[in-house]
Structures are given as C-alpha cells and as structure tokens.
Amino acid sequence: MSDKIALIDADSLLYYEMGKPTLEEAIEGIDSRIEQILNFAGTTKYMGFLTLSKCFRYNVAKTKPYKYNRKGGVGKPPIFYALKEYVQQRWGFYGVKGLEADDLVAIYHTEDTVICSPDKDVLKQLPGTHFNYGKMEFVTTSHDDAYSFLCVQVLMGDSTDGIPGIPKVGPKTAEKWVAEDCSLTMVLEKYTEKFGIHEGITKFAETFNLVYLITSSEEALRVGVENIPEAVILNSVEEKIDETDGSDW
C-alpha cells in the first residue's frame, strides 16, 4: 500500500446505488465500491466528499438558472438520502454548505492524493492522477490539458449543467480556437466580439465562475463560503467506524 490519499467524489456513488431494491443491498454496494476504489488506488487512506445542499453557483447563474435542464419534479428515492447519511456516519464522508463535492476534491488535492471520480469536470479540469471508478481506469491530466479544457468549457458552456457559453460555439469550434491560442484572454475576446464589451465581460465572468472548480479556501471565501475545515484523513483499516459498535447500520 502507498502513502497516497484517495480523494473520493462520493456523489456518483450514491447515484450508482440508489436504484437497488433494498437499502441493505445499496449499502453493500456502497461498501464494495469504496473498498474497490481504495484497492485500485493502492491505499487505505482517504477523504470522502458529498454535495450537501445547493451551491454558490445557483446565485452566480443569471442568464439561466443553474442546472435548469435537470428533470424537474422528479425527486430522488428515499434510499439516496439514507445512503448519504450512511456514508457520513460509517465512512466519515462530509460536505461543506455552498460547495459541491467536485470543489472539495479540488481544494484538498495535492501531489500526495489520488483523485477518485467519474465526473468529467474533475477528470479533465484538475491536473494529476485520477482513478475513474466509473470506467475502472486511471487517467493522468497534465496542467496544460487542464487549462485547455477550462478554456473550452468557458467558450461553449456545459449543457449537462445548463451553463450557457457563446451561442453556436460547440466543441469543434472551441477546440480549434484553443489550439490556436490557449488563453483565457482569447476566450474573453471571443465573448466581447460576440456581445460587446460590457455584456461580454459580464457573461464571460458568469460562465467562468459556473464551470471553474474552487481550488482553495481563499477562492471559496470569494464566493461567500467560509470555514473550510482542515483536512481529516481517515484510514479504512484503523479509523472506519466499527460495524459492531451498536449503531443502527
């Protein structure tokens, strides 16, 4: 086992298991997936993160509501919320109000961590070693590739989260522009060419703040999120709550 720390983006874990017929089966699935992640990452040390509530991006979004295109009126099954409580109690996973799990992975990421997430934003925007537990494969993202991906995202927005970019700019156009000039200065120029100076700057800032992952407590403070806790590194062998401790789980 290595001394690396697995940073687990746990939101997807809940989605993967919430469709199980019973809570017991879902819990077995969660435990199995976490243990599998740690085995593949080659470590027993980990931190696990959840999205607890609506994040700051809902306040940033002005052009269109953040994630407006998600299915409205379709609530998550009760198992989802039970699993969220379970991973907090049993595995020590946690979240910070105002931030998404993606942001917390970015904040705590260092050279000593392995990022464990299937989320494209995490995989492509954060440089370093990743374990994509959706595809069960390792991916390495360079600093240059991460910056290029951010520029492309700001140009075209993110349809998955309902984030608008420059109208009629898709992947091919965005990637072509970035290949010619990989810089946020170029991206801002494209916005001002399309919308004019004032509106272009405003829309650029909105899209940038929606797609960019928060990477420090200082950046979190700038978006109104305070009290980022110190890193609490758990050990799946030594510190996981004992299953015989008398808890309801």
42 contact partners, CB below 8 Å, separation of at least 6: 1, 2, 4, 114
State how far the Cα of 47 lies from the Cα of 14, in Å rounded to an integer. Answer: 16
State how far the Cα of 154 lies from the Cα of 174, in Å rounded to an integer. Answer: 9
pLDDT digits (tens, 9 = 90+) for 89-103: 999 999 999 999 999
What pLDDT, on the 0 to 100 scale, is given for residue 3? 87
What pLDDT, on the 0 to 100 scale, is given for residue 227? 87
State how far the Cα of 188 lies from the Cα of 205, in Å rounded to an integer. Answer: 9
Query: Which residues belong to CATH 1.10.150.20 in the chain?
Result: 144-211
Alpha-helical regions (H) of 92-170: 101-108, 120-125, 143-156
Both structure tokens of 99: 């931030």
pLDDT digits (tens, 9 = 90+) for 174-217: 999 999 999 999 999 999 999 999 999 999 999 999 999 999 99
Both structure tokens of 67: 């994630």
Q: What percent of the chain has pLDDT over 90?
A: 86
How confident is the model over 46-61, as a mean pLDDT?
96
Pairing assessment for the beta strands 113-116 and 137-141 based on DSSP bridges = unpaired
How confident is the model over 120-129, as a mean pLDDT?
95
Spatial CA neighbour of 210 closest among 37, 67, 38? 67
Bridge partners of residue 139, in order along the sequence: 130
What three-state secondary structure class fits 25? Answer: helix
For the domain bounded by 5-142+214-233, which CATH number is listed?
Answer: 3.40.50.1010
The confidence band for 48, taking pLDDT boundaries of 50, 70 and 90, is: very high
CATH superfamily assigned to domain 144-211:
5' to 3' exonuclease, C-terminal subdomain (1.10.150.20)
Answer whether residue 167 shows pLDDT above 50. Answer: yes
Query: Which residues belong to CATH 3.40.50.1010 in the chain?
Result: 5-142+214-233
In Å, how far are 31, 115, 148, 155 from 208, measured between CA atoms? Answer: 36, 22, 13, 9
